């Protein structure tokens, strides 16, 4: 078994505070045809390089019944810029129209097996994981991306077809785990072997 939750497993429920003052869980998106959960942060260059694509993704897929949730689980000892207050500032500055949640305990990141920022999980209508990995093959510059795995996965799911590539390797900074080295990754990542 790999570190990241397996395809076909039901996604773990959660209850996390959002920058808008509300608390969110998967149950709050019961009418959505699909949910994308993105583990992200404020500081990572790959996250910053993905901002315009993230906004475009939400604009394109929200009208189709796809909910989008961003979760920041990073330990603040490594990056104080990932604090809840900085999350609020970032969401306001960038005009987030989706929930941006704080996973202070890191329990949700552990339950999903988030590896990097960003790391995307696509959940079907029954909230089973049907895709995990990257948005595309160039997290720093969308204009240079030659693949679009997350979009391909969502399009396939909405069309009632199998996801063409259910697992890809996420690209970006490591999740900053409490009590671990800044570059720590699990010893036996079987997800992508």
Checking if the pLDDT of 123 tops 70, the result is yes
In degrees to the nearest 10, what's the CA dihedral of 71, 89, 19, 99?
Answer: -50
Checking if the pLDDT of 192 tops 60, the result is no
Predicted confidence band of residue 183 (pLDDT cuts 50, 70, 90):
confident
What domains sit in the chain, N to C, each tagged with a CATH number?
Answer: 16-174 (3.40.30.10)
Tell me the pLDDT tens digit for each residue of 49-80: 999 999 999 999 999 999 999 999 999 988 89
Pairing of strands 100-102, 16-17: unpaired
Checking if the pLDDT of 190 tops 50, the result is no
| pLDDT confidence of residue 181 | 80
Among the residue ranges 34-38, 63-67, 176-180, 182-186, the one predicted with the least confidence is 182-186
Q: What is the mean pLDDT of residues 103-123?
A: 97
Residue in this structure with the two tokens 């699909």, named with its chain if needed: 34
Tell me the pLDDT tens digit for each residue of 161-179: 999 999 999 989 999 999 8
Q: What percent of the chain has pLDDT over 90?
A: 84
DSSP 46-100: HHHHTHHHHHHHHHHHGGGTEEEEEEE---TTT-GGGSHHHHHHHHHHHT--S-E
pTM: 0.94
Cα gap 48→16, rounded to integer Å? 23
């Amino acid at each position: 078994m790999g570190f990241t939750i397996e395809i076909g497993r039901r996604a773990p429920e959660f209850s996390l505070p959002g920058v808008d003052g509300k608390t969110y869980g998967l149950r709050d998106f019961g009418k959505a045809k699909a949910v994308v959960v993105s583990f992200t942060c404020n500081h990572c260059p790959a996250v910053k390089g993905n901002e315009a694509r993230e906004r475009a993704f939400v604009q394109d897929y929200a009208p189709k019944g796809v909910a989008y949730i961003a979760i920041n689980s990073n330990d603040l000892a490594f990056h104080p810029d990932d604090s809840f207050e900085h999350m609020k500032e970032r969401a306001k500055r960038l005009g987030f129209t989706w929930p941006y949640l704080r996973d202070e305990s890191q329990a949700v990141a552990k339950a999903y097996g988030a590896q990097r920022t960003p790391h995307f999980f696509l959940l079907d209508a029954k909230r089973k994981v049907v895709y995990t990995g990257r948005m595309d093959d160039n997290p720093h510059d969308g204009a240079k991306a030659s693949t679009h795995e997350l979009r391909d996965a969502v399009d396939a799911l909405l069309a009632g077809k199998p996801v063409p590539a259910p697992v890809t390797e996420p690209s970006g900074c490591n999740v900053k785990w409490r009590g671990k080295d800044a570059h720590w990754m699990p010893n036996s990542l079987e997800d992508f072997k």
